[in-house]
A and B are shown apart, each in its own frame.
Chain A
């Protein structure tokens, strides 16, 4: 079992719809969770991070964390074609220093 799993996609949604990206992790000691967006050939850029169970909202983005289910998700409201990218889930584990464990990424395509 991989430490961080994501559906590789592609996930296609129409413009204006809600895109839902999911991530599961295996280490119950994981402490913090990050969502990065990566356009093709570009560097990953942080969208948001979450530590506590529940929802965290930032503009059109909402991160949801459920530690009991070892599940974190990212919702993108009012999806735009410019949101088309690969979304990477990254996890920081307790007692493993500051580095991230990344999932394989989910490719999102927002259709005009």
Chain B
């Protein structure tokens, strides 16, 4: 069974540019989560999808971040325009409904110059 995959693994962009991160959850997992870890800090929750619906987006830092999960399969997280403080590792995780274990992807390392 394939795990959670994320693309790209690394992205380097300049301040003011736009970046889109993609997450493909484990097949059949209706729960999809985005987290991020900025330099020297702990992993922080961004938002949670159940299928295509946003269940909880309380962790989204501001309106420069837009997450979508059309069709309830893969998800994208767009940052527009990117700022220096957006640099970090963005993790995606998925789980089945009713299950506690969240399976994490390898993360996308975003560097904003």
Contacts and interface: CB of A to CB of B under 8 A. Distances in A.
B102 A100 contact: yes
Interface stretch (A10-18, A43-51, A58-66, A73-81): A43-51
A99 B42 contact: no
Interface string B33-46: 10100000111110
A100 B33 CA distance: 10
B8 interface: no
Interface stretch (B13-21, B64-72, B80-88, B103-111): B103-111
A67 B45 CA distance: 23
B72 to A, nearest CB: 16
A42 B56 contact: no
Interface in A77-112: 88, 92, 97-105
Contacts, number: 53
Interface residues of A, number: 23
Given A98-B48, A98-B56, A102-B43, A45 B104 contact: yes
A104 B83 CA distance: 23
Given A99-B33, A99-B48, A88 B43 contact: yes
Given A4-B42, A32-B100, A101-B45, A43 B33 contact: no
A14 to B, nearest CB: 28
